[in-house]
Structure formats: C-alpha cells, structure tokens
Amino acid sequence: MSARSNKTKWFITGAVVVLLLGAFGVAALLFTACTSNKYIVAAGLPNPDSGFQTGTITGYDVWIWECYQNKRIVLWRTSAEMSAGPYTRQEAPCGEQTPIEIQLANERKRERAPHAFW
C-alpha cells in the first residue's frame, strides 16, 4: 500500500467523522431547542391578553387569552435553561380558571409582554 492511499483513507475517514458529528449536532439542536407545535396549538389565535413565567432555572411559560370565542384559553409549556417542552392548550369557560392556572396559583410569577408570544 502506498503512502498516498493511506493519506486518502485518513482524509476520507476524517471527513466522514466531521460530517457525522455535524449532523448529530444539528439534530440535537433541533430536538432540544425548538418547540414546533406552538403554531399548531395556537393556530388562529390573536395576541394573548397576558402571560407569565414561573421559576428561575426551570419553570413554566404561560400565555392567557381571557375570553376568546367564549372560552378562556391558556397555552403553557415547561422550560429550563436550554430546553423547552411542547405547548399544551387548556380551555375553560370565560371567567373560570384552567387546571394549570390552579396548579400555579401559589407560584411566584414574572409578567411577560403579550406581544412576545409571536
């Protein structure tokens, strides 16, 4: 085997390893940093009326539509430093609270600007 074919093998092997690591990195980023269901569960909704976050390192992101089409609509997800779960939609009659609002009633909250949802 010549020295030239060994260099070619090493080059090809290195290129394959770099491509695989790059593909893994992109896949990891897509699966941990993106919440793609937001536009599905919030389809057709205007800007929310209010929103808040709980926790410091981990907590909840909550967006509230007070009375849209005769329903109180709440979208929420869990979030942490570098990841976030999918959004969940809960509905209740206008003037009532959803289960997630009842669950988070005693949590410390930071208000979010409603236009920040979209």
Q: What is the DSSP letter of 84?
A: B
Residue burial 51-63, b: 16+ Cβ < 10 Å; e: rest: bbbbbeeebbbbb
Over range 37-58, report the average pLDDT: 94
pLDDT class of 53 with cuts at 50, 70, 90: very high
Structure confidence at residue 92 (pLDDT): 98
Q: Higher confidence at residue 47 or residue 32?
A: 47
Amino acid identity, position 23? A
What residues have CB less than 8 Å from 89, skipping those under 6 apart? 41, 42, 73, 74, 75
**pLDDT tens figures, 54-98:** 998 999 999 999 999 999 999 999 999 888 899 999 999 999 999
